[in-house]
Chains A and B, each alone.
Chain A
Amino acid sequence: MFTVLRLSMNACRECLREPVYYLMLLAALIMIGLFPYFSMFVFRQQIRLVCDSSMATTMLFGLFAAVLCSARTISREMKNGTVLLLMSKPVSRFSFVISKICGILVSLTVFVFICNAATWLSVLIAVDQFKLSKPLVWCYFGAVCVAALYGGVRNFISQKSFSSNAVAAMAVLFPVIAAVSHVIRTKTLSDYLLTDTETFMAARVLIPALCMLFFAVWIMGVISSALATRMEIVGNLMVCLFLFLTGMVLHYFAARTFGTGSAGALLCTSLVPNWQLFWMADVLSNRIVIPASYFVWTLVYSALYCAAWIGWAFFLFQDSELARDTR
């Protein structure tokens, strides 16, 4: 148990230290931060535009981050032989696989958490149809800069990883700024909200919808980790993209072809993850609060799907030859 914990912590740290992880997060945050500007071109749909675009960005960049993390921590270790060093310790193959997956999932959770906090902040920036909240825009991009500065200073003074320190700073700054801004906004806009609720995105609607993205990215993380035991980054990315795109549409066509709830439709849902389950854009646009039962059901679906792919990951790794280039 402790071995798994130590290996998981190390795998997570390795992911967060990767400059490419930081770059993916930075790119996602800049895009999410710019969506409020595009909302100036729509009428009364600005919140929907920001939410839809930000959630799509989180999902897509989450997929890329999942593939990159698994390729860096699993494929690369198998290729350069680091896995040999670990497997010669009192570590079983199962412990190795499960701990790598856990480490990758924790780093992806951090990724989605920061993106979700940024989405919340972006929504607050775009609440007003006719002008953006300039102080919040400054806070948003200021947080990105402060985090980079913190990472740079830690790297320069203590030789600590720039990437992991900058990510840690963002993980603190974004939720704090978003929460404080939300409290201030809801206080100052309370009268206005009573008369025009359409323009306000309630936290009880938005937060559960954003939480669904965690489940989607966890599934992507587990799939890409399983594939990383056998594939290099390009092959892994191709298969994950295929599953992502197929999972978006397959269930719709399966339901039309075989009928909703039929064995054929169920089989498709079992084979390819149904990403539509986690896509709450329509719920948000209709201001519907996600029922707790749906939330729990989706969590169970994600857990079962992840468990199945962890089984695959173990099966693929169990039989794989380690350190291919040193053989």
Chain B
Amino acid sequence: MMIEAEHLFKRYGTRLVVDDLSLRVDVGDVLGFIGPNGAGKTTTMKMISGVMPPYAGRVRIDGIDIEAEPRLAKSRIGFLPENAPLHMTMTVRAFLAYTGRLHGFGGRELARRVDRAIERCALKEAAGQEIESLSKGYKRRVCLAQSILHDPKALIMDEPTDGLDPNQKRQIRELILSLKEETAVIISTHILEEVDAVCSRVFLLCSGKTLFDGSKDEFRAKADALQTDLAGLFAAMTEGEQA
């Protein structure tokens, strides 16, 4: 199993934001991590990517415990944070080279990987430009490029298509689908259209609790049973929990 999270808990002060969450994602899976705002999606993403330690529980990437061997585990993770935070004064190429060096690449290997990431994320035109001068869509693609530069085995994406136009969304989705052959992918989103377009599995979270973990077909069957669409099912499940 590529990504394993077992009994994760997280508190902010006295507030429990993730409550006994467990999930498993293997290569070939694209897990749609959905939930209303404040459900604990981003916190869970941070814990799985090793950015933030859980209050309790364990995360393993490719069998490596992220707390016991963080460097090794993180070298297998590609993380796309929300809002595409980047070093704005750098050019696209310089930024990708910088993140590549943090993964230990150098010389020709680094140049090759940077070129490939630029090509895969359609950044050729913007490669020499300062990130600050780019549009929101380009910034997101730069962020995506840094997350796949080192060929990660686990790709964790927080709102990957947020702020993109329909064409850009389609390109990113195609890229995600092409990556899933070699990578376990988790996509955190509250756009159900995204789940329908790229995900093979659905994980529904609300107030830190797991409400659903299964295949997309099972999720759709549940909606059909209630004679509603995915949005209707989402509302029915989460509103009851939030109330």
Residues of chain A having any CB pair with chain B under 8 Å: 2-3, 6-7, 10, 14, 17, 77, 80-92, 159, 161, 321-323, 326-327
- Tell me if B85 and A80 are in contact (CB < 8 A): yes
A229 to nearest B CB, angstroms? Answer: 15
Q: What 5 pairs between A and B have smallest CB-CB spacing?
A: A88-B79, A81-B85, A90-B71, A82-B85, A89-B102
Cα–Cα distance between A86 and B74 once the two chains are bound (Å):
11
Cβ–Cβ < 8 Å partners of B228 in chain A: none
A-B contact pairs, 5 of them (CB 8 A): A77-B85, A80-B83, A88-B77, A90-B71, A159-B128
- Tell me if A6 and B50 are in contact (CB < 8 A): no
- Tell me if A6 and B83 are in contact (CB < 8 A): no
Any A CB within 8 A of the CB of B49: yes
- Tell me if B46 and A90 are in contact (CB < 8 A): no
B131 to nearest A CB, angstroms? Answer: 11
Partner of B51 from the list A7, A14, A17, A87 (CB cut-off 8 Å) is A87
Partner of A14 from the list B75, B89, B103, B143 (CB cut-off 8 Å) is B89
- Tell me if B101 and A6 are in contact (CB < 8 A): yes
- Tell me if B82 and A326 are in contact (CB < 8 A): yes
Cα–Cα distance between A81 and B49 once the two chains are bound (Å):
14
- Size class of B's contact patch? 20 to 34
Cα–Cα distance between A274 and B189 once the two chains are bound (Å):
53
Most buried by B among A90, A91, A92: A90
Known contacts A2-B101, A81-B85; 19 additional CB pairs below 8 A are A3-B102, A6-B101, A14-B87, A17-B89, A82-B87, A84-B49, A84-B51, A85-B85, A85-B146, A89-B74, A89-B102, A89-B103, A92-B71, A159-B130, A321-B52, A323-B46, A323-B81, A326-B83, A327-B42
- Tell me if A88 and B43 are in contact (CB < 8 A): no
Give 1 or 0 for each of B127-151: 1 = CB within 8 Å of chain A CB.
0111000000000000100100000
Cβ–Cβ < 8 Å partners of B98 in chain A: 6, 10
- Tell me if A326 and B81 are in contact (CB < 8 A): yes
A173 to nearest B CB, angstroms? Answer: 24
- Tell me if A81 and B71 are in contact (CB < 8 A): no
- Tell me if B81 and A89 are in contact (CB < 8 A): no
Cβ–Cβ < 8 Å partners of B129 in chain A: 159
- Tell me if A10 and B87 are in contact (CB < 8 A): yes
Cβ–Cβ < 8 Å partners of B85 in chain A: 77, 80-85, 323, 326
Task: State whether A90 and B146 are in contact (beta carbons under 8 Å apart), knowing that A81-B83, A321-B12, A326-B81 are contacts in the complex.
Answer: no
Cα–Cα distance between A84 and B47 once the two chains are bound (Å):
11
Cα–Cα distance between A17 and B88 once the two chains are bound (Å):
11
A104 to nearest B CB, angstroms? Answer: 15
- Tell me if B51 and A322 are in contact (CB < 8 A): yes
- Tell me if B86 and A88 are in contact (CB < 8 A): no
By DSSP majority rule, is chain A's interface helix, strand, loop, or mixed? helix
Nearest neighbor of A91 in chain B, beta-carbon distance: B102
Cβ–Cβ < 8 Å partners of A88 in chain B: 49-51, 74, 77, 79, 81
Any A CB within 8 A of the CB of B28: no
Most buried by A among B51, B82, B98, B130: B51
Give 1 or 0 for each of B20-37: 1 = CB within 8 Å of chain A CB.
000000000000000000
A75 to nearest B CB, angstroms? Answer: 13
Cβ–Cβ < 8 Å partners of A17 in chain B: 89
Cβ–Cβ < 8 Å partners of A326 in chain B: 42, 81-83, 85
Cα–Cα distance between A82 and B79 once the two chains are bound (Å):
12
Any A CB within 8 A of the CB of B104: yes
Cα–Cα distance between A90 and B50 once the two chains are bound (Å):
10
- Tell me if A85 and B86 are in contact (CB < 8 A): yes
Cα–Cα distance between A7 and B98 once the two chains are bound (Å):
9
Task: State whether A322 and B130 are in contact (beta carbons under 8 Å apart), knowing that A10-B98, A85-B85 are contacts in the complex.
Answer: no
Nearest neighbor of A9 in chain B, beta-carbon distance: B98
Nearest neighbor of B158 in chain A, beta-carbon distance: A326
- Tell me if A89 and B52 are in contact (CB < 8 A): no
- Tell me if B86 and A82 are in contact (CB < 8 A): yes
Cα–Cα distance between A7 and B103 once the two chains are bound (Å):
12
Near A by CB (< 8 A), chain B positions 37-81 give 42-43, 46, 49-52, 70-72, 74-75, 77, 79, 81
Task: State whether A84 and B71 are in contact (beta carbons under 8 Å apart), knowing that A10-B87, A321-B52 are contacts in the complex.
Answer: no
Partner of B81 from the list A2, A14, A84 (CB cut-off 8 Å) is A84
Nearest neighbor of B38 in chain A, beta-carbon distance: A327
Nearest neighbor of A86 in chain B, beta-carbon distance: B102
Nearest neighbor of A77 in chain B, beta-carbon distance: B85
Nearest neighbor of B130 in chain A, beta-carbon distance: A159
Any A CB within 8 A of the CB of B99: yes
Cβ–Cβ < 8 Å partners of A77 in chain B: 85
Cα–Cα distance between A82 and B146 once the two chains are bound (Å):
12
Cβ–Cβ < 8 Å partners of B51 in chain A: 84, 87-88, 322
Nearest neighbor of B86 in chain A, beta-carbon distance: A82
- Tell me if A322 and B89 are in contact (CB < 8 A): no
Cβ–Cβ < 8 Å partners of A85 in chain B: 79, 81, 85-86, 99, 143, 146
